[in-house]
Structure 1
């Protein structure tokens, strides 16, 4: 079953996807179990089960991915200004 799922991790965001709901449920339970066994806490309110899903400021639907809006600040003062 593991080969039927795709797991993408970046910083504190994890995306788990699969073509079949059974594979997704299995992979998600394994990922959550592994994280919790290492002391991580999963916020159930952050687990997205219906579309549109959001990951790294992208909106993901069954057939499309919409990238985040690009804003260019002409006079940023801090790093936070660049990434907010």
Structure 2
């Protein structure tokens, strides 16, 4: 007979689970009407994505200032949503 503790089962299940989705922290408008979305990722780092040019940025050193700079300089209009 094999006995598995609930803690061991939960740990094994957690290892198979996908990481939590990034949390939207803020949205910064660009001059052309697009947005730069700033996310807090599951590892605590920040990432950003521009709805105009499509730039996605992630690094352990990204900051809100990086996203603000991109929002100030991106001149691409918002891309149409996929149908």
TM score, norm. by length of structure 2:
0.22
TM score, norm. by length of structure 1:
0.22
Query: Does 1 or 2 have the higher relative contact order (CA < 8 Å, sep 6+)?
Result: 2
